[in-house]
Amino acid sequence: MAQSVFSLFRDGQEYMHTWPVKKELYAHFPECRVVTATQLAVKAMPPLAVLACVTLFNTLGAEFMPQIITVGLFFLSLPLQGLMWLGHRSNQLLPPQLKHWYQEIHGKMRSQGCAVQTLKARPRYMELATLLKTAFSDLDRMYTRSWF
């Protein structure tokens, strides 16, 4: 199933906002590091691209304009690469071990009374992200209520 580049960017943006960046997940999923790096790149790379281009232009002059533009485009492409990776990852099916873990978490959350989406037969990483986000927000709240 081929996707357009723009749908990959859109899926990556949605996945980046859905994935819970928690310290418990850092050891198990590369998404935490990619989401953090992509969020930083979205904020930092446009000003760095302008700064690099202005510095190179002042240092080298107008005769190096193609190289200066290339450096600027490289800096601007870094956040897009992260979004594209996240978009591709969000649409991949879960491997068998993660699929079993997804079903186990889904069952535990249902037994705790959390409102979760229906169990998917072929879950993707996006469904796992949604489930983990719900688990970190709702289960924490439920356990907090039971303690106080």
What is the length of the chain? Answer: 148
For 100-137, how does the pLDDT look when each residue is reduced to its tens digit (9 = 90+)?
999 998 988 888 888 888 888 899 999 999 999 988 88
Structurally, the chain folds into a number of domains equal to 2
Cβ pair 85, 12 in contact under 8 A: yes
How many whole angstroms separate alpha carbon 139 and alpha carbon 135?
5
Q: Looking at residue 141, what is its pLDDT?
A: 62
Residues 142, 84 share a domain: no
SS3 93: strand
Residues 30, 71 share a domain: yes
State the pTM of this model. Answer: 0.86
Domain that holds residue 69: 1-91
Looking at 76, 91, 106, which one is the last position of a domain?
91
For 70-103, how does the pLDDT look when each residue is reduced to its tens digit (9 = 90+)?
999 999 999 999 999 999 999 999 999 999 999 9
Does residue 28 carry a pLDDT above 80? Answer: yes
